[in-house]
């Protein structure tokens, strides 16, 4: 028995040594294993934050008085907001909120100057509730400015050290918030609206990333290249079988989200179908590009996972991309999931139409063409 145990342990260690030696001589896999923890550290250390930055907002100023202009200046002085966009009326403001052009709309009534002198001014704050976290944060900062506003003196810029003291102060201005598109600020609606995007990203990258490298390992890649087809035709042929599967996943996520949780699309279903096609093609092409770059299936799996997590974090499906710092936020523009989640939330939560998602559709089509060109440059049209 002792000899059997010794032989068993020796055999296991011998196999482990052989596989460890193979891994050590695979520099691409070693590099990815080292880069993934670093990527996670940077994402959670630098990218994710709850403090807003560069928030788009608008002002409907019906007072046109010195106190109203001073209030707008105090909000702008916090450093969290872009320059305000002047809005002519409620209809224009609602349309800008529905299209995602604004996160907040401050409505200053006509009698604001008179009420400020009487000590009872009030403003209305309209917020895009489709993004609960961003809406709650932005509304809180504007309300904090209202707490310290002095209609007779220029207020000082709000800083983090002042917020605790201001939280218990009486508000000189009554800020009356109203949340559109998700009045209850349910996080469930925020996530279910983009569930299809997360499922399709996982499906498309995982399935297509093993295509070319799998043929290379099985020895059929050369036979595929010898066919009277171009690389683009080969790639498109590999993508098409996954398109109907992707629409099944889309339908399942939308229907089950509606049946189980009552989150049905408020906008055009046809626009949703048209938006999905370029997103699926672009994401599948990224997977084919991964498969064309690597040499083994293990490398393909690691690299596809390496691409999935940043897509979830940087695109805005899990955390509002408006809260990300400059430079990092712009990286998400090259991810198909960024544009798809923008279109999904416009259609499902805000009741958008085809015209509201033309820009995301165009961006996704452009990304698909770009990734397809990269795959074409990577694949050799013929042997040798």
Structure-block tokens of residue 256: 């089950």
pLDDT one-digit tens code per residue, 20-35: 776 666 676 566 556 6
pLDDT at 252: 92
pLDDT at 44: 57
**Using CA atoms, how far apart are residues 151 and 67, in angstroms rounded to an integer?**
6
Query: Is 80 exceeded by the pLDDT of residue 175?
Result: no
Q: What CATH number matches the domain at 57-180, 3.10.20.30, 3.30.450.40, 3.30.1330.10, 3.40.1710.10? A: 3.40.1710.10
Domain with CATH 3.40.1710.10 in the chain: 57-180
Q: In what order do the strands lie in the sheet with 174-180?
A: 85-86, 57-61, 104-108, 122-128, 174-180
DSSP secondary structure of 92-123: HHHHHHHTTS-SEEEEE-TTHHHHHHHT--EE
**Among 255-264, 268-277, 298-307, whose mean pLDDT is lowest?**
298-307
Task: Tell me what the mean pLDDT of segment 193-222 comes to.
Answer: 81
Rg from Cα positions in the chain: 27
**Using CA atoms, how far apart are residues 200 and 74, in angstroms rounded to an integer?**
43
Percent helix, strand, coil in the chain, to 5, is 65, 5, 30
Query: Is 80 exceeded by the pLDDT of residue 12?
Result: no
Extended beta strands in the chain, E state = 57-61, 85-86, 104-108, 122-128, 174-180
Task: Tell me what the mean pLDDT of segment 118-142 comes to.
Answer: 84
Phi, psi at residue 261, to the nearest 5°? -130, 0
Task: Tell me what the mean pLDDT of segment 289-298 comes to.
Answer: 80
SS3 8: helix
Query: Is 50 exceeded by the pLDDT of residue 321?
Result: yes
Average pLDDT, the chain: 81
DSSP secondary structure of 209-276: TTHHHHHHHHT-HHHHHTSS--HHHHHHHHHTTHHHHHHHHHHHHHHHHHHHH-----S-HHHHHHHH
SS3 384: coil
Task: Tell me what the mean pLDDT of segment 70-85 comes to.
Answer: 89
Task: Tell me what the mean pLDDT of segment 194-204 comes to.
Answer: 90
Roughly what angle, to the nearest 10 degrees, separates helices 269-293 and 358-378?
Answer: 20
């Amino acid at each position: 028995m002792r000899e059997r145990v010794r032989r068993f342990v020796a055999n296991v260690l011998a196999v482990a040594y052989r596989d460890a030696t193979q891994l050590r001589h695979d520099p691409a896999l070693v590099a990815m294993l080292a880069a993934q923890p670093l990527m996670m550290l940077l994402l959670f250390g630098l990218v994710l934050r709850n403090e807003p930055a560069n928030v788009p907002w608008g002002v409907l100023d019906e007072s046109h008085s010195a106190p109203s202009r001073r209030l707008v200046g105090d909000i702008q002085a916090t450093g969290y907001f872009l320059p305000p966009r002047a809005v002519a009326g409620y209809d224009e403001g609602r349309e800008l909120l529905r299209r995602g052009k604004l996160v907040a709309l401050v409505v200053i009534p006509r009698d604001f100057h008179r009420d400020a002198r009487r000590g009872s001014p009030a403003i209305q704050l309209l917020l895009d509730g489709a993004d609960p976290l961003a809406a709650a944060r932005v509304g809180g900062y504007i309300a904090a400015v209202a707490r310290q506003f002095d209609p007779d003196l220029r207020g000082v810029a709000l800083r983090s050290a002042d917020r605790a003291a201001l939280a218990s102060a009486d508000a000189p201005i009554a800020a009356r918030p109203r949340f559109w598109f998700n009045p209850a600020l349910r996080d469930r609606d925020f996530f279910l609206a983009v569930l299809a995007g997360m499922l399709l990203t996982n499906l498309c990258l995982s399935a297509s990333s093993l295509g070319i490298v799998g043929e290379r390992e099985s020895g059929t890649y050369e036979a595929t290249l010898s066919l009277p087809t171009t690389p683009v035709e080969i790639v498109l042929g590999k993508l098409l079988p996954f398109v109907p599967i992707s629409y099944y996943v889309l339908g399942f996520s939308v229907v089950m989200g509606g049946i189980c949780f009552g989150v049905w699309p408020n906008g055009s279903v046809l626009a949703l179908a048209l938006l999905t096609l370029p997103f699926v093609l672009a994401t599948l092409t990224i997977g084919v590009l991964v498969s064309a770059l690597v040499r083994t299936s293990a490398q393909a799996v690691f690299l596809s996972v390496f691409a999935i997590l940043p897509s979830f974090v940087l695109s805005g499906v899990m955390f509002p991309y408006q809260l990300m710092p400059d430079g990092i936020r712009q990286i998400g523009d090259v991810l198909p999931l960024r544009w798809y989640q923008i279109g999904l939330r416009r259609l499902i939560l805000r009741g958008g139409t085809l015209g509201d998602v033309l820009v995301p559709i165009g961006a996704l089509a452009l990304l698909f063409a770009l990734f397809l060109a990269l795959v074409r440059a990577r694949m050799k049209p013929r042997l040798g």
